[in-house]
Amino acid sequence: MERLSNLSYKNQRILIIFLFSLVPVVLLLTFSYLPVFKMFQYSFTSWDGFSKNMEYVGFDNYKTIFTKPEYFAVFKVSLYYFFATFVQMGLALYFATILSFNVRLKNWFKGILFFPTLLNGVAIGFIFLFFFKPEGTLNTMLDLVGLGAWQQKWLLNPHLINISLAFASVWRYMGMNFIIFLGAISSIGSDIYEASEIDGANRWHQFRHIIIPSIKKILQLNLILAVSGAIGVFEIPYVMTGGSNGSGTFVIQTVDVAFKYSKLGLASAMAVVLLGIVVIVTILQRVLIKEEK
Amino acid sequence: MKKTKAVTGLAALTLMAGLFAGCSSNNNNADNAAATNAGNTGTGTEATAAPEGDAAKDIKGDITVITQRTDIVDTVFKDYAAKFNEKYPNVKVNFEALSSYEDQIKIRMSTNDYGDVLLLPTSVAIKDLPDFFEPLGKMSDLEQQYTGLEERSVDGISYGIPITVNFSGVIYNKQVFKDAGITEVPRTFEQFQTALQNIKDKTDAVPLYTNYAAGWTLTQWEADLATVAGDREYVNIAQVASDDNFVQGQPHYDLYKVMYDAAKNGLIEEDPTTTDWETSKADLANGKIGTMMLGSWAIGQIKGLATNPDDVGFMPFPTNASKILVPLSDDYNLGISLHSKNKEAARAWVDWFINESGYPTTEGGGMSPVKGAELPEILKQFEGTDVTFDTLAPAKAGEEGWVDAIDKEAEIGLWQPDFKKVIIEAAIGNRKDSYDDIMKDLNDKWKAARAKVTAAK
């Protein structure tokens, strides 16, 4: 009988590596690359998602997207999430820095801050829907602390709706940024802090001259992730408002086109365009950040 | 050390094997079923018909019925199956209930495995029905027996029978109307607005609850188009023949003006963006809401929540047309999968379900599609009045599905919440565009799409 141990160590290694990578690679191919390939294919058809025959229409779908301004107008909404990104990163960095020093109940705070990341996005949508209701949590709390005059219809007011939604998004994703920053900050050796303390550096100096330079790479990475996330915002506005009252994003629009109006071809083209935008933004960021050096 | 590696390698392999086995097990079952029932399968395009009497005992096989009624699948449907088995003892009926039917069945239908008996999804283009469903017979023959067939028929062949026939209009709370001093059911647009205003002034109830947040509830308004037009031929014939579908004086304009005016005058709920469908039903039932625009299917649900079910009333949508027409329209249609292995048994279920189960009037809450069946209780009040109930006239030959095609091409969404939401947002001052701006935009889209669709046919 063929036994694994009959093979040389090198061949065993190759076999094991091959077997282990087989599973993720097959999963990756079936659930990532094949759908993307299909998406490109569909984007050149006028397929409705059901029909047996797919009509090839060339670049018609792309022409539609780039000639109708209403498809791009929704990117304005992404700006809210883009600015929220900086708030989110700032808060994450702030908490990560504080909690990397000796603080009482350190692990408890870490848990609290990371917790939202573990929740399902749909659940978060519902939580915040209740939070923002006219008689919901936020208004009740404002009333309790004597700020009753600040009560608002948070989702009804067109000036506030996107800020409210972006706030929910910050609450949800900050934990992830926080944990990454925390990891990066923990990797800085304690001797450096000690040395700086002897030189008379206070906490702010340490943050400014030790922490920031040390985690610069991670900051860049988080920024890229956050910005591409801001372009592709979907679940929070979709669950909470369905994109109504001026909170629609490009992805919500894509989903509507595909499933409300059965234009799968056009929706695929929109998805390809979105993919293109994300790729361009990412490359742009990399180039710009590199030049800084 | 070496041993552990071998073990982990094996574990990985087993995992993979399990993964693939998991995917294919269903197909195996289907193949087995096919083998055992090979003698029974229906033939390609010919219609299958249910035999009568003793022949019923010869029908056998397993069928899977897919339904949207998650609430009663384990109770009422089980009873149906038992009764069905009295007549067809050799058919085993399995049920599957999908919570968001339309979305889930769409994905299922890209495979060959979507049950034996299922509801025809409304999002499948009418012309594509023959690719997915078994023909049930010639429409001209079946018409002797059923109403509402024209909605899901292609080239004179029917692919589905409605599980119930709905009528649409205003569901209101009689007590609220009484408290507001409304003695007569409002008939015209002005009377209706006045009634809403009275409710606001004299009671604590919300005059008109839009259910904006749920979205789909707003689409219920579209069903009242025929009432506003006062013409059963408007929806499928006159509408597609016109470039001016949304201009002033046309039914669409008048229909949604009711919504706009109510919202503008503060006669809707305080914060539409956070409404909740489930509580709205209870609120209407118990007098916290005056009116909602819904179909007959909701009456049973709302009455079920009311302390006094007699308070829940139905009235036609307001109209300035000379006669009041309450349109009857199909609920979901029941059909048979083209890939079913037991088409005779499936057909037997369809016929039995529509004719003998009692579903259309009891659980469905509407009218039975069977011709000559009795009217539901709530409609008896309209006997002898100037209110008529009628189905919509089918589209002209060669123009079937045009309304739908133009609608999708234009991305208007007659049966989608989008532009209704825009109307409400504009009315409460969240948007700058006026009602006429919105209608003009819709009309432009309609015109362009209509030109494209009519040119293509």
Say how far apart CA B234 and CA A171 lie, in whole Å: 51
B274 Cα to chain A: minimum distance (Å):
6
Look at residue A132 and tell me whether its pLDDT is greater than 60: yes
What is the secondary structure of A209-265 as a DSSP string?
A: IIIHHHTHHHHHHHHHHHHHHHHT--HHHHHHTTTTTTT--HHHHHHHHHHTS--HH
> Do the chains contact at B271 and A134, CB–CB below 8 Å?
yes
Higher pLDDT, A1 or A261: A261
By C-alpha distance, which of B417, B395, B392 is closest to B406? B395
Q: What is the mean pLDDT of chain A?
A: 87
The one-character DSSP state at B98 is: -
Higher pLDDT, B181 or A101: B181
Say how far apart CA B337 and CA B342 lie, in whole Å: 10
Is B457 near chain A, with CB under 8 Å?
no
Q: What confidence score (pLDDT) does residue B55 get? A: 67
B217-271 pLDDT per residue, tens: 898 999 999 999 998 899 889 999 999 999 998 999 999 999 999 999 999 998 8
By C-alpha distance, which of B16, B59, B23 is closest to B352? B59
Is B88 near chain A, with CB under 8 Å?
no
Q: What confidence score (pLDDT) does residue B53 get? A: 55
Look at residue A72 and tell me whether its pLDDT is greater than 90: no
Instruction: Write down the ipTM of this complex.
Output: 0.71
> Would you call B22 exposed, middle or buried from its count of C-beta atoms within 10 A (0-12, 13-18, 19+)?
exposed
Say how far apart CA A150 and CA B444 lie, in whole Å: 42
In Å, what is the CA distance from A65 to each residue of A60, A251, B409?
9, 13, 14
Q: What confidence score (pLDDT) does residue A35 get? A: 93
Q: Give the pair of three-digit tokens for residue A245.
A: 């009252």
> Do the chains contact at A50 and B128, CB–CB below 8 Å?
yes
Reported as type and span, the H/E element at residue B390 is strand B387-391
> Do the chains contact at A134 and B128, CB–CB below 8 Å?
no
Average pLDDT of the residues in A266-283: 90
Which site among A241, A244, A264, A266 would you substitute to test the B interface, given the most B Cβ atoms closer than 10 Å to its Cβ?
A: A244
> Do the chains contact at B13 and A49, CB–CB below 8 Å?
no
> Do the chains contact at A260 and B416, CB–CB below 8 Å?
yes
Nearest Cβ partner of B15 from A16, A23, A51?
A23
Nearest Cβ partner of A22 from B3, B16, B430?
B16
Give the residue on B whose Cα is nearest the Cα of A23. B16
Confidence of residue A84 (pLDDT cuts 50, 70, 90): very high
Residues of B in Cβ contact (< 8 Å) with A3? 6
> Do the chains contact at B430 and A156, CB–CB below 8 Å?
yes
> Do the chains contact at B6 and A158, CB–CB below 8 Å?
no
Give the residue on B whose Cα is nearest the Cα of A13. B5
> Do the chains contact at B12 and A20, CB–CB below 8 Å?
yes
B161 Cα to chain A: minimum distance (Å):
21
Give the residue on B whose Cα is nearest the Cα of A132. B274
Burial A128-139 (b: 16+ CB within 10 A, else e): bbebbbbebebb
> Do the chains contact at B274 and A50, CB–CB below 8 Å?
no
Q: What confidence score (pLDDT) does residue A226 get? A: 83
Residues of B in Cβ contact (< 8 Å) with A157? 430
> Do the chains contact at B2 and A5, CB–CB below 8 Å?
yes
Q: What confidence score (pLDDT) does residue B383 get? A: 76
Return the amino acid letter for A59.
F
Report if pTM > 0.95: no
> Chain A residues within 8 A (CB-CB) of chain B?
3-5, 12, 15-16, 19-20, 22-23, 26, 48-52, 129, 132-134, 136, 153, 155-158, 161, 241-242, 244-246, 256-257, 259-263
Residues of A in Cβ contact (< 8 Å) with B271? 133-134, 153, 155-156
> Do the chains contact at B271 and A155, CB–CB below 8 Å?
yes
Which site among A1, A30, A50 would you substitute to test the B interface, given the most B Cβ atoms closer than 10 Å to its Cβ?
A: A50
Look at residue A277 and tell me whether its pLDDT is greater than 50: yes
Which residues, 6 or more positions from B160, have their beta carbon under 8 angstroms from its beta carbon?
A: B119, B120, B129, B133, B136, B152, B333, B334, B335
Residues of chain B below pLDDT 70: 1-55, 457
> Do the chains contact at B16 and A136, CB–CB below 8 Å?
no
> Do the chains contact at A12 and B212, CB–CB below 8 Å?
no
Looking at the DSSP assignment, which residues form a beta bridge with residue B64? B94
Least confident among A4-8, A26-30, A190-194: A4-8
> Do the chains contact at A23 and B411, CB–CB below 8 Å?
no
Burial A231-260 (b: 16+ CB within 10 A, else e): bbbbbbbbbbbbbbbbbbbbbbbbbbbbbb
Give the residue on A whose Cα is nearest the Cα of B409. A261
- Percentage of residues in chain A having pLDDT higher than 70: 98
First-last CA distance in chain A: 60
Look at residue A185 and tell me whether its pLDDT is greater than 70: yes
Q: Is A151 helix (H, G, I), strand (E, B) or coil?
A: coil
Quick check: B426 and B435 in contact, CB under 8 A?
Answer: yes
Say how far apart CA A42 and CA A62 lie, in whole Å: 12
> Do the chains contact at B123 and A50, CB–CB below 8 Å?
yes
Is B13 near chain A, with CB under 8 Å?
yes
A1-19 pLDDT per residue, tens: 567 777 888 988 999 999 9
Give the residue on B whose Cα is nearest the Cα of A133. B274
B67-122 pLDDT per residue, tens: 988 888 888 999 999 999 999 999 999 999 987 788 788 888 888 889 999 999 88
> Do the chains contact at B125 and A52, CB–CB below 8 Å?
no
Residues of A in Cβ contact (< 8 Å) with B215? 242, 244
